[in-house]
A = this chain, B = another copy of it.
C-alpha cells in the first residue's frame, strides 16, 4: 500500500563549502523533491547567496509559497550568508534552535540558519552541518540519545567523531584525514610513484589499516613514507599505493580514536557506533573498523534531512509533532 504523499511543508538546505543540497520536505518530514548544486559558499554564482538560493529553490517557492526555509552548514559561518555564532558543547537541539539566525532573501523569504557547535579546551573543535546530521540520527534512532551515550562518526574531508549522550553533543574530535590524504597524494613525493586506478583495491587498503594498527606507534609521520618504500621494494604497485595510503591514514584515525576510548576504559573492539556519510566512504570505514574489532557500525540514512526537519519542528517552523526520545 502506497503511503499518501503529504503537502510540501519545508525547504531544507544543506549548504556547505563546495556544494548546496536542497530538500522539499512534506509535513511528515519525507523528501518530496531534491536539488543539488555546486554553489557552495566558496563557489557562488554572480549574485551570490541570493542568486544561488533563487536558482535552486525559486521554482518550489513559486509553486508552494509561503514555505519556511531552514539551512545548516558553512552558510552560517563568518564567510557565509549570515553568521550564526557557534553554540558551545554540551549542545542540545534546543540550544541550536535558540541560536538560529535569519537572513532575508530578496524575494522576502526568511532563511533560518542553524548555528554550528564549538568545543573549547586545549584542542578546540568546531563543526557546521554535522550537528544537524547528528540530531537527524537521534531523530531516527531515539535510543542513541539516552544517557548510555553513543559514538557517531562522520567520515570525510574533516572527519568528525562525536560523543553524544542525554540528547546532547558532549564533545567531538576533528580528524583532517581526507584533506591530509589529498594534500599528500597531490603535493608530496608519495604521489610521484602512484598510478590512478578506477577500482578500489581492498587488499592494499586493509594492509594500510593493519600497518597503522600494528606498527603505527611512531605515528603517522613515520608510516606514510612506506607508501613509497613498499613500492621501491616491489611490494606495492603504483595502482595500489593510493588505497594503501588511504588505509594508513584511516587506520591512524581509528588508532587515535581507540587511544581516546582506552583512556576512558572503552575500546573500538566490540563497540556499537553509527556512521553518517556517503555509502562508499562509510563502507570503507566499516572495513577499517572491522580491523579494529568493531563490527557494528551501520550508516544512518537521510540524517541531513531528518536533522533539518527536526530542528525546524522544534523551532516551530513546521507544525509536525516532534518525536522525543
- A interface residue numbers (CB < 8 A to B): 118, 120, 122-126, 158, 173-177, 179-180, 182-184, 186-190, 211, 214-215, 217-226, 229-230, 232-233, 235, 249, 252-253, 255-257, 259-260, 263
Output the nearest chain B residue to A257 by Cβ-Cβ distance: B218
Output the nearest chain B residue to A124 by Cβ-Cβ distance: B229
Task: Given the known inter-chain contacts A126-B232, A180-B184, A183-B188, please indicate yes or no for A252 contacting B120, CB distance below 8 A.
Answer: no
Q: Quick check: A187 and B183 within 8 Å, CB to CB? A: yes
Task: Given the known inter-chain contacts A123-B211, A184-B180, please indicate yes or no for A220 contacting B221, CB distance below 8 A.
Answer: yes
* Assembly CA distance A253 to B224 (angstroms): 12
Task: Given the known inter-chain contacts A222-B256, A255-B219, A256-B217, please indicate yes or no for A188 contacting B179, CB distance below 8 A.
Answer: yes
Q: Which 8 A-B pairs have the closest CB atoms?
A: A219-B256, A218-B256, A124-B229, A183-B183, A174-B225, A175-B221, A183-B187, A217-B259
Task: Given the known inter-chain contacts A120-B233, A123-B223, A180-B188, please indicate yes or no for A260 contacting B214, CB distance below 8 A.
Answer: no
Q: Quick check: B176 and A225 within 8 Å, CB to CB? A: yes
Q: Quick check: A158 and B225 within 8 Å, CB to CB? A: yes
Q: Specify the main secondary structure of chain A where it touches its partner.
A: helix
Q: Quick check: B176 and A122 within 8 Å, CB to CB? A: no
- Picked from B124, B211, B249, the residue with its CB within 8 Å of the CB of A226 is B124
A90 → chain B closest CB, angstroms: 17
Additional 9 contacts, C-beta under 8 A, given A123-B215, A177-B221? A118-B233, A122-B226, A125-B225, A126-B229, A158-B225, A175-B221, A179-B189, A217-B259, A219-B259
Residues of B close to A249: CB separation below 8 A = 221
Q: Quick check: A221 and B180 within 8 Å, CB to CB? A: yes
* Assembly CA distance A257 to B218 (angstroms): 6
A170 → chain B closest CB, angstroms: 16
Output the nearest chain B residue to A228 by Cβ-Cβ distance: B126
Q: Quick check: A253 and B219 within 8 Å, CB to CB? A: yes
* Assembly CA distance A233 to B174 (angstroms): 16
A267 → chain B closest CB, angstroms: 14
Residues of B close to A225: CB separation below 8 A = 125, 158, 174-176
A15 → chain B closest CB, angstroms: 17
* Assembly CA distance A235 to B122 (angstroms): 10
Output the nearest chain B residue to A235 by Cβ-Cβ distance: B124
Q: Quick check: A217 and B263 within 8 Å, CB to CB? A: yes
